[in-house]
Every structure is written in C-alpha cells, then in structure tokens.
Amino acid sequence: MEFIDTHSHNSDPAFKGEEDEVIQRAVEAGVSVLIQADIDSSEREAMFELVGRHPGVLYPMLGLYPCSVDSGWRDEIDSMLKWKDRGIVAIGEIGLDYHETKEFAEEQKEALRTQLELASELDLPVSIHLRDATEDFLRIIEDSKVLHLRGILHAFSSSHEFYERVARTGDWYVGIGGVVTFKNASIAEEIKHIPLDRIVLETDSPCLSPTPFRGTRNENSRIPIIAAKVAAQKEVSIEEVASVTTASARRIFGI
C-alpha cells in the first residue's frame, strides 16, 4: 500500500534534529510523499532546505497562514513570491482563523482573496485552513467561483452539507487527519456521507496525533492509523482507502 500525507510541517521545531529519521519512518510505513505546508517567512527557508534534502518525497506549498496575517501582510506576500518558482505544488496553507482574535479579520480576508487569485493565476490547488470563520469563508469562496479553484479543506471537521456547498464552487476535497480517530468526533460520522474519492489523508504533523497517540508529537508514519479509521467508517478495505486517496492526492498536486 502507498499513502500520501497531504499536509505536514516536517521543518517544525518539534522535529529539530530528528527530521530525517521521522521522514524515514514515514517512508518505511508506506507514506511515500509528504506535502509540506508553508506558514510565513519565519519558517519558509527551513522548509525549502528540508525539501531539498528529500527530493521526490517532500513537496512544498507556498502560502501565508491566516494567523500570521497582520498589518504587514502585503510585504509578507511580496516576500513569499520570491519562492514561487521553487517547485511548489500548491498555495497553502491559507484561509481564515478567528479563534484567538478578529483583530486582523479584514486583513485575513484580503490576504485570502489575493492568494486565491494567485493560485488561479499559477494554476495550482490551494490548502485551506478554516477556524471559526465559516460565513466569511463561504462568502469569499462563492465570490471566487469564477477563478475555477481546486484544493483541499485541510483538517476538515465540518458537516457534509458544508462540504457540498463549497464543492459547488470548484473542485474540492477534504483532508482527514487524526481527529477522525478521537472518541465521539463528529467527522467520523460526516465522512460516511462524503465520497471516498473526495477524501485525502493528512497528519498536520507535529499536531493532531491519532488515537492511541493523542496528545503526543504526531508523525507522518501514523497515516495508516487514519486510513484504517476511514476504511472502517466507509466500510471498505484499507487497501481501497490507500489506493483511492493516493490517486486523488497525486491528481490534486500533479505529482
């Protein structure tokens, strides 16, 4: 079986000094590709350096994370664009996050619109981070229908009705990670109503470890645990989950 982790942060300080060993464990577990999410200029150089050490396994995204958006977001975008010819496979992770504060809500919305337009211009998918900002996101994504967007709703934990509404605006998939294994997690029920060929797997490493590792540093090698839970909920084999989600990920990112 081959798996793809569609959202990870292997250059995060949580892995400092162990990055290569973590990646090797992933490959040994059948996770052959790890898509690296970008955050902002503070981490970007380290991310691209790590990608350069693992060609064909690590692939980079490029984006400004919503919680990194402030009054200087335009300068961050300008800085980001210097990396756009470095083999990026998506614009992400981008989106809206009002969980901690709405101080820069307007700036977040403008940054999101700008990056959606960039994705359309570059003909790249997007990886969307969304937290406590559903209505603003829906307004933006529905207004952006003319951009013919495609991408992944990262760390998806909403309803299948929400997914279906977003899906009407473009070619959209949901990223399912460790939360699906948590006791009483609503997403475990919701994915029963989302077609398997619209689901991709992710860890968001080092965050969101699946049960029984919840609360510990996550690793890409735990993708098979997530796949097994998806298989159980969809009443299919783990081999089918591996095959379908890997094919979808390769199609989305063009790898």
Residue given tokens 């052959």 in the structure block: 32
160, 190 in Cβ contact below 8 A?
yes
Class of domain 3-253: alpha beta
Amino acid residing at 23:
I
Over its length of 255 residues, how does the chain's per-residue pLDDT go in tens digits?
999 999 999 999 999 999 999 999 999 999 999 999 999 999 999 999 999 999 999 999 999 999 999 999 999 999 999 999 999 999 999 999 999 999 999 999 999 999 999 999 999 999 999 999 999 999 999 999 999 999 999 999 999 999 999 999 999 999 999 999 999 999 999 999 999 999 999 999 999 999 999 999 999 999 999 999 999 999 999 999 999 999 999 999 999
Q: Is the model's pTM score more than 0.95?
A: yes
Residue 142's pLDDT is what? Answer: 97
153, 134 in Cβ contact below 8 A?
no
SS (H, E, C) 195-212: CHHHEEECCCCCCCCCCC
